Amino acid sequence: MAVKFYQKENQVPLEMHKVRMVQKLTLLPVEERLRAIQEAGNNTFLLQNRDIYMDMITDSGVNGMSDKQVASMLVADDSYAGSETWNRAKAALKEVFGVDNALPVHQGRAAENILAEALVKPGQKALMNFHFTTTKAHITRCGGEVIELVDPKGLKPQSDDLFKGDFNLDSLRNCIKETTPENIAFIRVEAGTNLIGGQPVSLKNMLDVAGIAKENGVISVLDASLLQDNVYFMKTREEQCKDMTTKEIYHTLADNFDIIYFSARKLGFSRGGFIISKDAKWTNQLMEFIPLYEGFLTYGGMEVRSIEAAAQGLLESLDMEYINQGPEFIAYLAKELDDYGVPVILPAGGLGCHLNCSEFVPDMPHNQYPAAAVGAAVYIAGGIRGMERGTVSEQREEDGTERYAELELQRLAVPRRVFTLSQIKYCADRVKWVWDNRKLIGGLEWTMEPKVLRFFFGRMKEIGHWQEDLAAKFREDFGDSL
């Protein structure tokens, strides 16, 4: 915490920025919230923004832009080739990561598509601390298999471990030996491990993994989409990083990983994405896919104004006074909830606060989708939209059986530089009410289940009548309040 309060008991995270552009919000009465979630098939992705008070579905593409980012968008150069905007993006990537080689892509999963096409052969394995939904979908589409080697501490919902995204290095070494390097497409480290609660990986662990990859002649890949939060945690939690500048950390990573890719919707406070490498060998190998799938090498499917904003946003990702805001607000929300007894992932990570729904509704079986059910309840209670990160977000096995998630999470993302602390307090208040009324929450069943990435557009309905009962209880407890 950069600024200490005189009255310790009043200490809150203090923003080092002010809001100069605002967007009107609406909060519907509870009866309309009930109607909206049911019309959306209990899928928060299908809710309309006009029906939402706090949009906590993601931190992707919805971060608050700085004055400098908005200003940079006005000078975007949209020449098809040789654009100054691209030169400025390359200069920013050089400043932040110290690399000269960069390819633009339209967002993070586009980079994953290209990496999978170029590097994954049928039957090969991709080793990683943990999968991300789109990463896995691309790798399996190309005939590869994802092997997860996160340290078991990462799957403990609550612990004192500060780097729960770390690889288990023994398992990694064993897996390489058993699989043999020829059968490994690459080793991928996901910074700020998304699906286990935005949990960071230590710098030491990242470098160890990159070293093991090198020793074995296997390609190392860093998914840096959530690196901004991860760097904040390295600086504040890891002894060896305390005296390093943020820039030194980014540079060290780029010096050690063969390929880094990221979504600029997260890292860069903008939209779009990039693939970068210290050694031109890698970007040269991937380059031909850019004009094929994305666009010319100077924009890669991105809109030029987004590239300008990402370039400026990347520079801001070096600034601890900007990058502390997300993690500190998340820690505040997690502590509020934990103090009340609500099961949340601890220590709080980046990206958002994660409700542990296996404990929230402990008697509900995986195949009634506890994380989605709690998400629907939170929306009914507060007009707050989170995202299911549990079994619904998994994909079924080849034979059609459900693959139950390791952790049934409801993610309440905290987009960077967007919410005020009073809104975070409102969120905590409504989640506490849901917790006190958790006995009312029932399960969900599919009414329409897509085969791929079903969490995006699948539809479900309540089992029984619990949602009406929950809304009625809200009305009873809150009177005529929204």
Our finding on whether 108 is near ligand F0G (CB under 6 A) is: yes
Ramachandran sector of residue 71 (left: φ over 0; alpha: ψ -120 to 50; beta: rest): alpha
Amino acid residing at 426:
Y
109, 188, 265, 266: the active-site residue: 266
Q: Which of 42, 43, 58, 256 binds ligand F0G (CB under 6 A)?
A: 58
Cα distance between residue 448 and residue 420, in whole Å:
37
Amino acid residing at 196:
I
Segment 24-53, which members bind ligand F0G (CB under 6 A)? Answer: none
Complex with ligand F0G: residue 249 or 361, whichever CB lies closer: 249
What's the closest the beta carbon of residue 4 comes to ligand F0G, in angstroms? 33
Record the tokens describing residue 101, joined without a space: 């080689």
Our finding on whether 113 is near ligand F0G (CB under 6 A) is: no
Q: Which of 151, 223, 316, 408 binds ligand F0G (CB under 6 A)?
A: 223
Contact 271, 64 (CB under 8 A): no
35, 77, 94, 133: the active-site residue: 133
For 240, other C-beta atoms within 10 Å of its C-beta total 12
389, 416, 417, 438: the active-site residue: 389
Q: Which of 15, 77, 117, 134 binds ligand F0G (CB under 6 A)?
A: 134
Complex with ligand F0G: residue 51 or 388, whichever CB lies closer: 388
Q: Which of 53, 86, 130, 132 binds ligand F0G (CB under 6 A)?
A: 132
Query: Which residue is at the shortest CB distance from ligand F0G?
Result: 108
Cα distance between residue 55 and residue 197, in whole Å:
18
Our finding on whether 388 is near ligand F0G (CB under 6 A) is: no
Our finding on whether 101 is near ligand F0G (CB under 6 A) is: no
Cα distance between residue 450 and residue 448, in whole Å:
7
Record the tokens describing residue 463, joined without a space: 């089992």
Q: Mark whether 379 is an active-site residue.
A: no
Cα distance between residue 33 and residue 378, in whole Å:
10
Complex with ligand F0G: residue 375 or 442, whichever CB lies closer: 375
130, 289, 299, 455: the active-site residue: 455
Q: Mark whether 242 is an active-site residue.
A: no
Strand ranges, E, within 255-314: 259-263, 273-277
Cα distance between residue 356 and residue 349, in whole Å:
13
What's the closest the beta carbon of residue 107 comes to ligand F0G, in angstroms? 3
Rounded to 5 degrees, φ, ψ at 358 are: -65, -30
Record the tokens describing residue 321, joined without a space: 């006074």
Q: Is 464 exposed, middle or buried (0-12, 13-18, 19+ CB in 10 A)?
A: exposed
Q: Mark whether 389 is an active-site residue.
A: yes
Our finding on whether 226 is near ligand F0G (CB under 6 A) is: yes
Query: What is the set of active-site residues?
Result: 80, 132-133, 223, 266, 389, 455
- Interface residues with ligand F0G (CB under 6 A)? 58, 60, 107-109, 132, 134, 190, 194, 223, 225-226, 263, 265, 273
